């Protein structure tokens, strides 16, 4: 087999997928972040409700291109009953490179069950996510040695054949969360079975397990019963996937329906290299929540990919049935 002109690019295609997509608004993609959060939404009156969530992320955007790295997320989850638990589903699509030459599509079903403990509103949640992940590369975007005339550039087609241009594997994730209405702490493990995404037919290219921890809470500065409610919202998440790891932490404030916050993301494998400063704004009115995050890249890549934008939309539906579920409220976010 002839060598690829960009042989290292082929190796990159077999490695780039090993780092999973991570959304900055991780509670906006709750059941993707941690399946134990399935069915955890409440409506504006504090009643248990179904939830529809969607996010759009364009990463490392420049003034020339806004969508070379673009990700979409949509999910639905709800509580079924106090005895059975909660169910949900989500779909994620991710495109990387010019014209989306490397693409991932993932669809998962999620389930969670909760058990209260203690006498101060504490709850344990336990979740499972099962699905299918499909990844592929557009072969037409690759350039092989037999396509190149070194006098004039790229010409003609190629006789090269990859073993596969798309690989699909089962996806298994688990998670837990412990919380009351003012504090939460959770953890999740994705890619439990370490699926092998191999495009060359000769490389063990496992999608490594991704381990994450999430925590946050509400600090009430002013009770809404005595005036406008004001709440501080500290948060943090840590993610590790093989050699890659990052810490994302910040502080937000909610006043009436408005939210504003700042955060900082740091790569933990290179202590001299900050990743990004984050500004978030949002508004939550009745059953609708709109959010936006701007990430200013601080590392050396900022000269080529200076910023990231992430837009979120969430709608909570109140059940019209006469069933009144026992509510296990998470801190408001």
CATH number (domain holding residue 122): 2.40.160.40
What average pLDDT does the chain have? 83
Q: What is the pLDDT of residues 65-92, one digit of tens each?
A: 556 788 999 999 998 887 788 999 999 9
Predicted local confidence at residue 7, as pLDDT: 37
User: Is residue 332 included in any domain, yes or no?
Assistant: no
Q: Compute the half-sphere exposure of residue 122: CA atoms within 13 Å on the CB side of its CA.
A: 7
**Total structural domains in the chain?**
1
Q: What is the pLDDT of residues 81-122, one digit of tens each?
A: 877 889 999 999 998 866 567 889 999 999 999 999 887 889
Nearest to 307 by CA among 318, 293, 326, 328: 293
Of the chain, the end-to-end C-alpha distance in Å amounts to 55
User: Is residue 22 included in any domain, yes or no?
Assistant: yes
Burial (CB count within 10 angstroms: exposed 0-12, middle 13-18, buried 19+), residue 213? middle
User: Is residue 328 included in any domain, yes or no?
Assistant: no
**Residue 193 has which token pair?**
């079975």
* pLDDT of 285 above 70: yes
User: Is residue 189 included in any domain, yes or no?
Assistant: yes
User: Is residue 277 included in any domain, yes or no?
Assistant: yes
Cβ atoms of residues 317 and 51 within 8 Å? yes
Range of the structural domain that residue 94 is part of:
7-318
Give the single-character DSSP code of 147: G
User: Is residue 2 included in any domain, yes or no?
Assistant: no
Report phi then psi at 16, rounded to 5. -65, -35
| Angle, alpha carbons 246-313-250 (nearest 5°) | 30
3-state helix, strand, coil in the chain (%, to 5): 10, 55, 35
275-286 mean pLDDT: 92
User: Is residue 330 included in any domain, yes or no?
Assistant: no
């Amino acid at each position: 087999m002839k060598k690829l002109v960009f042989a290292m690019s082929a190796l990159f295609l077999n490695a780039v997928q090993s780092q999973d997509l991570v959304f900055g608004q991780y509670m906006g993609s709750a059941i993707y972040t941690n399946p134990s959060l399935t069915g955890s939404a409440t409506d504006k009156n504090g009643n248990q409700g179904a939830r529809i969530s969607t996010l759009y992320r364009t990463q490392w955007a420049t003034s020339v291109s806004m969508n070379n790295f673009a990700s979409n997320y949509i999910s639905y989850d709800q509580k079924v009953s106090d005895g059975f638990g909660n169910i949900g589903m989500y779909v994620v699509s991710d495109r990387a490179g010019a014209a989306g030459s490397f693409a991932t599509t993932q669809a998962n079903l999620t389930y969670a069950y909760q058990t209260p403990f203690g006498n101060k509103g504490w709850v344990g949640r336990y979740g499972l996510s099962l699905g299918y992940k499909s990844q592929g590369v557009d072969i037409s975007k690759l350039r092989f040695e037999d396509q190149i005339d070194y006098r004039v550039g790229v010409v003609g087609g190629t006789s090269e054949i990859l073993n596969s241009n798309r690989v699909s594997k089962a996806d298994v994730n688990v998670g837990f969360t412990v919380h009351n209405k003012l504090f939460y702490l959770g953890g999740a493990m994705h890619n439990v079975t370490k699926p092998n995404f191999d495009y060359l037919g000769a490389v063990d290219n496992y999608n490594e397990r991704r381990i994450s921890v999430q925590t946050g809470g509400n600090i009430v500065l002013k009770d809404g019963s005595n005036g406008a409610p004001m709440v501080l919202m500290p948060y943090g998440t840590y993610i590790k996937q093989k050699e890659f790891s990052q810490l994302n932490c910040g502080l937000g404030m909610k006043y009436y329906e408005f939210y504003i916050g700042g955060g900082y993301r740091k790569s933990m494998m290179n202590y001299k290299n900050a990743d990004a400063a984050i500004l978030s704004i949002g508004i939550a009115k009745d059953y609708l929540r709109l959010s936006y995050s701007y990430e200013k890249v601080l590392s050396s890549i900022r000269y080529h990919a200076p910023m990231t934008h992430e837009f979120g939309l969430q709608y909570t539906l109140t059940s019209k049935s006469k069933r009144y579920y026992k509510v296990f409220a998470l801190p408001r976010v």
